[in-house]
Amino acid sequence: MFIYSAFDRPDAPPVYTAEALVSARSLRRYTDKPIRLLTSRPDLVEALARRPDFPFTDIVPLEGDELPKAFKIRSIGTMAGSDCIFLDTDTVIYDDISRVFEFGAFDIAGVHMPYHREEIVTMADAVDKESRRYYALNSGVLFIRGAFAGPISEAWGESFARAAARHGPQIMDQPQLVNALLKLKPDLWPLSQNYNYRLMYGGVVSGTIFVVHTHYRRDVARIIKADFDTGMMDRLIERIGFINASVEKVTLPPVSMQTVPRHKLSRHRPRSGLAWALGPIRRRLGATG
C-alpha cells in the first residue's frame, strides 16, 4: 500500500492536501494498488472523494494537535504488518515504483540525502561519521517492509519527540530518522536518486527518474484557487514529467521551490570527453603563461 500524510490546519490553505492529490493522481497512472491518505482535514477530503477520479482508496483521519512531522511519523505506524511505500505529498510519480519490493530482501529502502558541503576531510572524520552517513536517508520516499513499519515509527517518533522538546518545533524529521535507524540497524537497500530526485538541488542523473521530489507552491496555490481542478493537476504532472524527455546522462539545474517552469525541466546533454575535462586546465595555463 502507498501512504501519504497531509497535515493542514483548518485556518490555513490546504497546501498538503492539494499536493497529495497531485502526487496520488500521478501515481494512479501506474498502479491500481491501494493508496491511503492520512489527513487532518477529513471534512475537506471526504468532499473531494465524491468527485470523479478520486485517487485514494482509504481516508484515515488522524486527530490531535501535534507537529506536522510527528503526524507524518505516526502515519507510518498505522501500516504495521503491511509492506508500504511512504511518499511525501510533494512527489510526482512516473512508474510503478512498488516493484522496488522485488529487488531483494530488506527492511527499508530509500535514497541517501543529497550531498551539500562536505564535512569529512580526514580519515578520523570518516571513522566518526560514515556509519551515520550510511543511514542518512531522505524521508520523503521510503519503502518499508511490514514487520519494520511499527518499530521504525516508534523509534523515529521517540527520537523526534526528544529533539522537539530540546530544540523546539522547527526541527527537521530526517536527523531523527537517522537516529532511529542507527538504533535499529535494519537491513537497508540504498536506491539511486532516480527513485527520489530532489529537483530543487539539481545534479547529474542518468536514465529515467521514477520519482520527482520538489516544491511547487505557486502551482499548488493556483490549483487550490481553481477548486482542485483536475485538468490543472494533469498539466502540472505532464510539465514535470518533461524531465524524462531524454534518458541520457545529463546535468539538471536546480529549480525554484515555488514553481516548475517547463524550460527548467528540459534535459541538456553535458559536454563530455577530454576537451571538456581539460578546458579549465587550459584556461588556467593560458592565464599564467
Sequential pLDDT tens for the chain (289 residues): 999 999 998 999 999 999 999 999 999 999 999 999 999 999 999 999 999 999 999 999 977 667 778 888 988 888 878 899 999 999 999 999 999 999 999 999 999 987 655 677 889 888 878 888 889 999 999 999 999 999 999 999 999 999 999 998 888 888 999 999 999 999 999 999 999 999 888 777 889 999 999 888 999 999 999 999 999 999 999 999 988 887 787 777 777 777 776 665 666 555 444 444 444 434 444 444 4
How far lies 197's CA from each of 2, 80, 111, 112, 271, in Å?
A: 18, 27, 9, 10, 22
Q: Does domain 2-265 have CATH number 3.30.1280.10?
A: no
Q: Indicate the burial class of 86 (C-beta count within 10 angstroms; 0-12, 13-18, 19 or more).
A: buried
Beta-ladder partners of 111: 191
Amino acid, res. 119: E
The answer to pTM > 0.95 is no
